[in-house]
Amino acid sequence: FVENTPESHDPDLCAAPPNALNRDWCKLLAGNREEVNGLTVTGKWGGVSKSWVDTDLTIFNNRWYEDLPGESFKLSFRGALQISSPGEYDFFLVSDDGSYLYLDGALAIDNGGWHAKKEVGTTVTLSSGKHDLFITFEQGGGGKHFEFWYNGIDTNGENKKPTADILFTVLPSTMSCPVACGSWGEVASEPNYGHQFPLDEKDGSLARLFSMVDN
């Protein structure tokens, strides 16, 4: 049996099944160095990933997050957007290099790849209430730029960035990820990679972790 839990955590295992939300950055196998969406893995570090609260989803060359590397990295933004008036809404990502937007677990904007500043948009119909947002931004080299904005009934048809009063944090379990994605304290399954997942009977009497492949 191979466990990957808070009590027995293996930082060399990227315990992540390929799915819409993590397939671009969780393909590293223990002991290997692979290409991850164009980025070459040159080292591995244990511990918890850096995280912070950000209500201004804008990045420019001269305005950057403290302690981030200058090149070759990815950021992810996770939260919920409050929609008051149902209807059609336009969403836009402007980025250098690539970016992706998932709404309620479904890919809405693909602005990926290594490129100069480029804008990509989409139109979706949303109900009133909170909608899950998951945005990724990837930086290879050269210029850095990222913007996220939307328009619709709630913005009176004007292009606006979501403000802090309509952005909310969400628990990872509320996102449309079929199983846990390998963060500290989570366990996930991918048989081809030798990862594992909890099996629970409905009455809660069974809770075991099985290694799916003999490593």
Same-domain pairing of 37 and 135 = no
Cα 73 to chain centroid, rounded: 13
Instruction: Show the domain range for 174.
Output: 55-178
127 with 166, same domain? Answer: yes
- Statement to judge: residues 98 and 156 lie in one domain: yes
**Least trusted range by pLDDT, from 61-75, 84-98, 185-199:** 185-199
Provide the token pair at 84: 């008051």
In angstroms, the CA 22 to CA 180 distance is 10
pTM > 0.85? no
Helices (H), the chain: none
pLDDT digits (tens, 9 = 90+) for 39-56: 555 555 444 455 555 556
CATH of the domain at 138: 2.60.120.1560
What pLDDT, on a 0 to 100 scale, did the predictor assign at position 94?
93
Cβ neighbour number for residue 40 with a 10 Å cutoff:
9
Closest C-alpha to 26, from 18, 41, 10, 74:
18
Which pLDDT score, from 0 to 100, does residue 50 have?
Answer: 56
Residues 123 and 197 in one domain: no
Report the pLDDT averaged over residues 74-81.
83
- What type of residue sits at position 119? E
Same domain for 85 and 165? yes
Q: What is the DSSP string of 104-119?
A: TTEEEEEE-SS-SSEE
Condensed to tens digits (0 to 9), the pLDDT of residues 158-183 reads 999 888 888 887 655 444 343 444 44
The candidate with the shortest Cα–Cα distance to 212, out of 197, 198, 191, 193, is 191
Residues 9 and 20 in one domain: yes
Statement to judge: residues 66 and 130 lie in one domain: yes
Residue 42: what pLDDT? 55
User: Do 155 and 85 fall within a single domain?
Assistant: yes
**Average model confidence (pLDDT) across the chain:** 67
Residues 107 and 195 in one domain: no
- The total domain count for the chain is 2
Same domain, 16 and 83: no
Map residue 153 onto helix, strand or coil.
Answer: helix
The two tokens of residue 54 are 């950000």
Domain co-membership, 79 together with 130: yes
Q: What is the pLDDT of residue 209?
A: 33
Residue 109: its pLDDT value, please? 96
Write the pLDDT tens digit of every residue in 125-154: 999 999 998 888 888 888 888 889 999 999
Do 174 and 85 share a structural domain? yes
